Amino acid sequence: MYTASKLRKTTVQAGILLLALSIAFGGSAISKIPQQNAQPLVVGKSQFVIKVADGSLKVTRDELNSYVRDAARAVIKYYGFFPVEKTIVQILPSNDDGVGFGTSTHDDANGVGMIEIHIGETATNSDLQGSWTLTHELMHLGFPVMDRKHRWLAEGIATYVEPIGRMRIGRLTKEEVWGDLYKNLHRGLPAEGEGGLNEARNFGRIYWGGALYCLLADVEIRKRTNNRFGLEDALRTIAKQGGTAASDWSAFRAINTGDKAVGVSVLSTLYDSMADENKSVDLSVLMKQLGVKRIGNKIAFDEKAPLAHIRRAIDAMPDML
């Protein structure tokens, strides 16, 4: 989930931001904050500051650093680069178990991505390694911040691409990626009498309806370009041309830029059919065509299915990465 506000304006968070920036990005206030509470980290060509708020955590600082590094690597594996140069990750210890709620935004004034994530005081390193939340929030930095009407588009992209990125760094298997889609995409389907995704207000429609849009777009782009391009090529171009969380791009500018990148008008056409209209999809047919099937509690693949080559391209590990 990302916050609609581009800049948090409370005094406390402003102080955290300025201190963390001074440590990570060349300021003079490094002596004013304990080093264990704010540490710089470089992943690829991007800089991160990991700030841990007061509270008790079972996981170590090294484990938190690895958690952030792996999440950033997953983003890079999907986009080919990290979409912003500087990011602050604020860890908030909580009384909950495991990894909790996260938010993402961008501070335009200081040019940094800002992530907050709640981690339970009893959370283990296994909990961190099995969590999707931080990767999801970091994926948001690769796409413009959307208004409420188009929230489904941003959340859908992050929901769809996050497991692919984690698969590419070895944190998930392709069976887990497709199993997640197989299990959850139905949550994004419209109820009887419900409008398009622009009217979506519940979690299932916003996150999984948006993810369904992304899967349909990925499949259609690959079909129409003979697998030369996919959704990731559209999203990479959007980010490379400046359509990140640091921008003020509209949904339409982002969609049109993505279509131009792949040479086919798939994103805009699908938007027209799903954003304002009640478009249903026969998921059983779609999964059968992709060669995804469930046998008992396990996901298996039919390599003779008509769109199996599309599915393999989506979950492939590109040589360039």
pLDDT in tens, 118-131: 999 999 999 999 99
Reduce the DSSP state of residue 107 to 3 states and report it. Answer: strand
Distance CA(53)–CA(38), nearest Å, equals 9
Query: Domain ranges in the chain?
Result: 11-142, 148-314
Identify the three-state secondary structure at position 318: coil
Q: How many angstroms separate the CA atoms of 99 and 121, rounded? A: 9
Separation CA 281–CA 190 (nearest Å): 9
User: How confident is the prediction for the chain on average, in pLDDT?
Assistant: 89
pTM higher than the cut 0.85: yes
DSSP per position, 270-287: HHHHHSSS-----HHHHH
According to the model, what pLDDT value does residue 97 have? Answer: 86
CATH topology assigned to domain 11-142: Neutral Protease; domain 2 (1.10.390)
Tally of CB atoms within 10 A around 122: 14
Q: Per-residue pLDDT tens for 207-253?
A: 999 999 999 999 999 999 999 999 999 999 999 999 999 999 999 99
Least confident of 52-56, 141-145, 261-265: 52-56
- CA 48 from centroid of its chain's CA atoms: 17
Which residue is associated with the tokens 């916003």?
Answer: 206
Give the amino acid at 163.
Answer: P
Q: What is the CA radius of gyration of the chain?
A: 20
User: Which own/partner contact pairs does 15-20 have at CB distance under 8 Å and 24+ positions apart?
Assistant: 16/51, 16/90, 17/88, 17/107, 17/110, 17/112, 17/114, 20/49, 20/51, 20/88
* pLDDT for residue 38: 80
Cα(24)–Cα(111) distance, rounded to whole angstroms?
13
The tens digit of pLDDT for each residue in 26-73 reads 433 223 334 457 888 999 999 999 999 999 999 999 999 999 999 999
pLDDT score for 8: 31
